[in-house]
Amino acid sequence: MSGKPASPLRRALVIFGGAALLLAVATDGLAVIGRHVGVPLLGSIEVVQAAVLIVSSAALVVATLDRRHAVVHLLVNRLSDRPKARIERLGNLLAAVLFLAFLVGSGWIALDMRGGHEESELLRIPYAPLRLIELAALLAITIICLVHAIRGARK
């Protein structure tokens, strides 16, 4: 991030994702300790998996907002400014198409599974709210990539 202050959305995503990351690490740490002392923490993997979905969703949205996805500059850096800007816009447009495909596919699965009462085996963590978080993140990333494609290079 540059010298400008973080937006409230970005700050909320970092706090939300950070809290989920702390939950995942604490749960996994307690599970490891429990296994060593003979008191396993049943369902710890389910909690970690749910938390990782939240962490990764928040991280992808923040990375997209900040334009911090992994990028290879080998060929692009050899171009002049105008072709470089066009390729960056094209890359953002293609990223939007990719995340739109993920969104449509995930939405299709969510619609197909609605009313199915999906939940984890041990702790009965419902999957529907996790699917909504995934869909919201994919929608946000698609929109952000489209905005970046329209606006062009960062100023």
> Is residue 26 in some structural domain?
yes
Tell me, what's the pLDDT at 6? 82
Residue 37 has φ and ψ, to the nearest 5°, of -95, 5
pLDDT digits (tens, 9 = 90+) for 99-148: 999 999 999 999 999 988 899 999 999 999 999 999 999 999 999 999 99
8 — pLDDT class (breaks 50, 70, 90)? very high
For the segment 17-44, what is each residue's pLDDT rounded down to a tens digit?
999 999 999 999 999 999 999 999 999 9
What one-character-per-residue DSSP string does 25-62 give? Answer: HHHHHHHHHHHHHT---TTHHHHHHHHHHHHHHHHHHH
Cβ neighbours, 10 Å, residue 4: 6
pLDDT digits (tens, 9 = 90+) for 37-94: 999 999 999 999 999 999 999 999 999 999 998 887 788 888 899 999 999 999 999 9
Q: Supply the range of the domain harboring residue 35.
A: 8-151
Phi, psi of 119 (to 5 degrees): -160, 160
Whether residue 3 lies inside any domain: the answer is no
Contact yes or no for 152/89 (Cβ under 8 A)? yes
pLDDT bracket for residue 5 (50, 70, 90): confident
Q: Is the pLDDT of residue 1 over 80?
A: no
The helix (run of H) or strand (run of E) holding residue 86 is helix 81-113
In a domain, 1, yes or no: no
Q: How sure is the predictor about 154, in pLDDT bands with cuts at 50, 70 and 90?
A: low
- 108, part of any domain: yes
pTM as predicted: 0.90
Q: Count structural domains, the chain.
A: 1
* Per-residue confidence (pLDDT) for residue 3, from 0 to 100: 60
| Contacts (Cβ under 8 Å, ≥6 apart) of 103 | 135, 138, 139, 142
Does residue 2 surpass a pLDDT of 80? no
Residue 2, in any domain of the structure: no
